[in-house]
Amino acid sequence: MASRVIEVLLESGELEGIKTIYPSNTSIVATIISRADVAKIKHIELKDNPGIYILVGMENLNTYTIYIGESDTVGKRILDHCKKDTKDFFTEILFFTSNNKDSTTISKSHIKFIENKLFQMAKQSPSIKLTETQTTPQKPQISRTDEAKAEEFLVHILHILKAIGYDLFIPTSTTEVLNETKAIKEKDVSATVPTYTYKVNNAVGKMSVLSGNYILLKGSTLAKTYWNSADQSLKNRREDLIQRGIIKTDNDLLIVLEDIPNKSSSAAAQLVCGGNEAGPRVWKDKSGKSLKDREETYL
């Protein structure tokens, strides 16, 4: 994959303040602002432009609560949300507009298309919980040309999110992640993705590490009971996965029905054992070498 350039402007000169992000080769501009600084949105140059916004809160260590929306004047809509008691879950705001200096500027139809796409991706991600007030955005009827442009804008948005540390829309299956490594595999036919195993009592977890995601694989089994070290966030996450139909009860175990991305190997291990566990130590490859040992060989 070719290198990409993303410029970040610190509006106040401080890392904790408002950030405006300018990726190369696109008219898309991203802005990140904390809820505490939302009154300063009036000073943001592109606040009156049409755009897509994401309100972000943390449900637990591994789950974001988000609301996705769009508006002709994105700054005004965000301020309206901040005034409503029903929108008190979020602590950060991300919004995407066009700088209007390019012939490929984003249009209202592009925005509505992207909003629908992000919503569909969010519904499929175990890392996201949509708010109860989130409605299904209507997908607009647009030409194939406009759809291709919107898809291109969407790719830029997803790259920005990942670059700034928001894995909001991480893939829900290894198929999508493998597509990202296709170029590498085509160059090196010997390239393989190792599978790691973690066995605890009668539970057997299987995990692969792909594009920075620790994927707990479909078919893994999880201990049904919790260890004393289990915190509420782990219990909430498991319960959420059960409600979504991603894991289900099978006698004395839980069985994984879909691949589950995790931000760390420890988060994946904790799902398997039902308590606190150090993932790098317990995940082993087929030769018995731990993930920690394998990582150290590359240092």
- Name the pLDDT band for 247 (thresholds 50, 70, 90): very high
**126 lies in the same domain as 77:** yes
Does 135 share its domain with 194? no
Domain range holding 207? Answer: 179-297
Q: Specify whether 185 is located in the same domain as 270.
A: yes
Share of the chain above pLDDT 90, in %: 36
Domain end, chosen from 169, 192, 222, is at: 169
* Cβ–Cβ under 8 Å, residues 247 and 255: yes
Same domain, 90 and 149: yes
For the cut 60, the answer to whether the pLDDT of residue 194 exceeds it is: yes
Do residues 276 and 216 both lie within one domain? Answer: yes
Q: For tokens 């410029």, name the residue.
A: 7
Do 54 and 150 lie in one domain? The reply is yes
Rounded to an integer, the average pLDDT of 126-134 is 82
Give the chain's domain count: 2
Q: What is the pTM of this model?
A: 0.64
Amino acid type, 189: V
pLDDT at 97: 92
Same domain as 211, residue 154: no
At which of 130, 149, 169 does a domain end? 169
For 17-41, write each residue's pLDDT tens digit: 899 998 888 888 999 998 888 888 8
| Measured distance CA(277)–CA(291) in Å, rounded | 13
Mean pLDDT of 111-118: 93
Pairing assessment for the beta strands 128-130 and 63-71 based on DSSP bridges: parallel
Tens digits of residue pLDDT in 51-77: 999 999 887 666 788 999 999 999 999
Domain match, 38 and 155 both: yes
Q: Could you say which of 169, 190, 219 is where a domain stops?
A: 169
In angstroms and rounded to an integer, the radius of gyration of the C-alpha atoms of the chain is: 21
Q: Is residue 276 part of a domain?
A: yes
| Pair (161, 198) in one structural domain | no
1 is a domain residue? no
Q: Is residue 49 part of a domain?
A: yes
Name residue, tokens 């994984």.
256
Token pair belonging to 191: 């390239």
Could you tell me if residue 174 is inside a domain? Answer: no
Residue 170 has pLDDT above 70, yes or no: no
136 and 235 both lie in a single domain: no
Same domain flag for 10 and 120:
yes
192 pLDDT above the threshold of 70: no
In a domain, 101, yes or no: yes
On whether both 28 and 157 belong to a single domain, the answer is: yes
